[in-house]
Amino acid sequence: MKLLIVTVVEEFEKDIIRLFKKADIESFSGSDIEGYKNNTTLVRTSNWFPSEKSGVQSSLLFSFTEDENIELLFTLIRSFNKNLDTNNPIKAVVVPIEKSI
């Protein structure tokens, strides 16, 4: 068993849930988050009081799941990301679990 962590912009949230189902990952948790990139430009840094938020509405999903499900999901995510026209691919990481109850 491993911990799978996925971040995705709000626009692709339904897509990643569909990919989870295809990979037989039926149990997962999620949370709304704001994503940021450190692309600071001179214009943005010169504005001391920005009038709009610079974060992007995103989701963080995680699941305790088996290797074979993760491998399938990674294959599906790679395929999905290849066809994107944006600079916001689905990101995923895997963390090994030493102990669990």
pLDDT per position as a tens digit, 5-31: 999 999 999 999 999 999 999 999 999
CA atoms of 43 and 2, how far apart (whole Å): 43
Confidence check: pLDDT of 101 > 50 = yes
**Which pLDDT score is estimated for 71?**
97
CB of 50 within 8 A of CB of 69? no
Q: What is the mean pLDDT of the chain?
A: 87
CB of 25 within 8 A of CB of 62? no
What's the pLDDT tens digit per position in 29-75? 999 998 777 765 544 444 445 555 567 889 999 999 999 999 999 99
**Which pLDDT score is estimated for 13?**
95
* pTM of the model as a whole: 0.81
Question: 2-36+56-96 adopts what CATH topology?
Answer: Alpha-Beta Plaits (3.30.70)
**Which pLDDT score is estimated for 74?**
98
